[in-house]
Structure 1
């Protein structure tokens, strides 16, 4: 509870700092960028935590199964989350212009930076979840305090050196990566899944997500065909590039996701078939 209180305070400190040090217009850009980013990153993280906590808790006494389950969750989550967040950063301009209009164009760079911070948010949340599974709430709190101390130092440096609003948002990105390194190091000890192992397992998804994002972003720059059509083509290109590379590399997570989706599609197909029979 105390850890959650600390997180809530720090999640709102940016609004106070930006509101005091910058214009109301810049605060408005930042506020909408945060809200748009949270729709994705927070939704993914909260959905994953609701599902994974009871699963991991049920096997907490079996070290081998716990490590395998944790590793599979980490890889599958970021197989989806990395390209999603990088893709959002790549399509930020046409997306924001379509949703908010031309007046909100300066918000694009804020949103892009927040997307890169959000890449690791679900990963941090899953790693912290291990401490709850293992009953290490004291360690959960201590690590949260350490991370907030580091964030306070980074914010102080950014303010003192007058890096501006982009510098403050950049601190979010740095803090996200530092938080991953800290939580992964200690959670890895709890499940024998070290920080180095996690980085090795995630590096491939990270690299191809960035590669995909660059292609999608460049298409948006050099194909001025209107915001709507640019956005549609960017999404298609990103999906094809990322999924194509994963299929060539025979990434196992594709088949895991398909195993999860296939029964749902089958039920939908069966329901439609039954509905047609009833109509006849």
Structure 2
């Protein structure tokens, strides 16, 4: 099987599992939100920055370096395994004894128990970074997809049971680490591996040369991305943070399925053709077309139909989240472009540039928070969106250095898609003025009408992105027919 066929096959498996998993998590999350309160979600969200930062030290450094290496040895794998184990145990001990300080900072004693409970996620994640990295490196996303679906079903089932049984915020804390536990168990079953040796100086230096910069940037990115939640949790109420976080989670749920799948699948695939710049650039052009074509109608409908979505699914108590979903949803229009342009630096192992652009981008985010913290939570949401758009110019500048992929070229690829998205959005917005018997009926009508019109416009305008999707689906169907024969 060619690299392209492997990539398409991996994409189908990964995307399908992500869709199934997101549906499971979304449905379960809706039920959880009805059982729990905005304050419960706010308490857990206060800790997100701590675990986002800690988790990236484990998952985002040497693991990525292992994926991008052309040849890896048992010494490399053993080095990554033991390094992650040592780091995770050290971080958990630090969190265990630092939990009272965290609780004191926010003035919420419940956070002591939540910190120690949610910290188990670090220990479970560290156990199988090597197995997961090897499967991604070999484009064996069928196994990873199966693990993701089983893990999602298990986690949401147990969390809903605990919430229904009256455990409150504890249900969210257990949900936080349970996925890593289930995934680790299944990874050992699917891809059993035991380290043969310990950390070696040669392997560590080789992997750390790239991984250290990615790790450090992950640290900075995690802080800036979650700093809003720290500030809201500190200076506003837990309920305010719960509303903000719920809107952000709904946005991420809608936009991350395709984007995360494409980035996970294409990074190891494109890393294998990093020496062919022309072929690499063509690959990124196709990724932008497909991602933009698929994401833009979803984001647009999400913003316009935010009220029936939240009121119909979560209930009246979550009404305040509507404005946050609409504002933060706007950032979804550029989120995939950040990932695609940063992927270029990962493929080429340009750790220092990856780090420098991160400092510039995150500086903008922190500046936005400092300007708006004394205004309102809504103002902070707008600052996040504005800085997301400004940061895009920084990312494009760095990616253009290596594959000559300018902002103008990227804009040219997206323009026809933006045009039909605007037409579709205007239609859906006007349709929303009609009277509907129930919020969910309105959500259904707006969503299906918008998607149908969008696809018709894409066909009439003969968009190249639609042709790309047809090609991918066609090649996958041919591959399945050959297997049957």
The Cα RMSD (Å) is: 2.3
Indicate the residue corresponding to 1:209 in structure 2. Answer: 421
Alpha carbons 1:44, 1:122 under 8 Å: kept: no
Q: 1:232 & 1:210 partners in 2: Cα distance? A: 20
Indicate the residue corresponding to 1:51 in structure 2. Answer: 265
Indicate the residue corresponding to 2:371 in structure 1. Answer: 157
Indicate the residue corresponding to 1:199 in structure 2. Answer: 411
Deviation at 1:240, TM superposition (A): 1.8
User: Is the alpha carbon distance of 1:220 and 1:266 closer, same or farther for their aligned partners in structure 2, counting shifts above 3 Å?
Assistant: farther
Higher relative contact order (CA 8 A, sep 6+): 1
Indicate the residue corresponding to 1:26 in structure 2. Answer: 240
Deviation at 1:269, TM superposition (A): 10
5+ residue gaps, structure 2: 1-214
Q: State the TM-score, normalizing by the size of structure 1.
A: 0.89
Note the alpha carbon deviations across 1:64-118, whole angstroms, 9 max, x for none. 1111111111111111111111121122111111221122122111001111112
Alpha carbons 2:231, 2:373 under 8 Å: kept: no
Aligned length: 270
- Aligned residue runs from structure 1 range 73-112, under 5 A: 73-112=287-326
Greater mean alpha carbon deviation, residues 136-145 or residues 207-216? 207-216
Note the alpha carbon deviations across 1:32-66, whole angstroms, 9 max, x for none. 11222222333332211111112222221112111
Q: 2:467 & 2:270 partners in 1: Cα distance? A: 21
Tell me the SS of whatever aligns to 2:331.
Answer: helix
Q: 1:62 & 1:255 partners in 2: Cα distance? A: 24
Indicate the residue corresponding to 2:36 in structure 1. Answer: none
Q: 1:211 & 1:172 partners in 2: Cα distance? A: 26
Note the alpha carbon deviations across 1:137-194, whole angstroms, 9 max, x for none. 110110001111111112212225x2x1111001111121112121012212211111
Moved over 6 A (4+): 265-270
Note the alpha carbon deviations across 1:188-219, whole angstroms, 9 max, x for none. 22111111111122122223223322321332
Tell me the SS of whatever aligns to 2:431.
Answer: helix
User: Is the alpha carbon distance of 1:8 and 1:118 closer, same or farther for their aligned partners in structure 2, counting shifts above 3 Å?
Assistant: same
Deviation at 1:258, TM superposition (A): 2.0
Q: State the TM-score, normalizing by the size of structure 2.
A: 0.52
- Aligned residue runs from structure 1 range 127-166, under 5 A: 127-160=341-374, 162=375, 164-166=376-378
Q: 1:72 & 1:34 partners in 2: Cα distance? A: 28
Tell me the SS of whatever aligns to 1:221.
Answer: coil
5+ residue gaps, structure 1: 271-280
Larger radius of gyration: 2
2:442 to 211, 224, 230: 230
Deviation at 1:224, TM superposition (A): 2.9
Alpha carbons 1:132, 1:140 under 8 Å: kept: yes
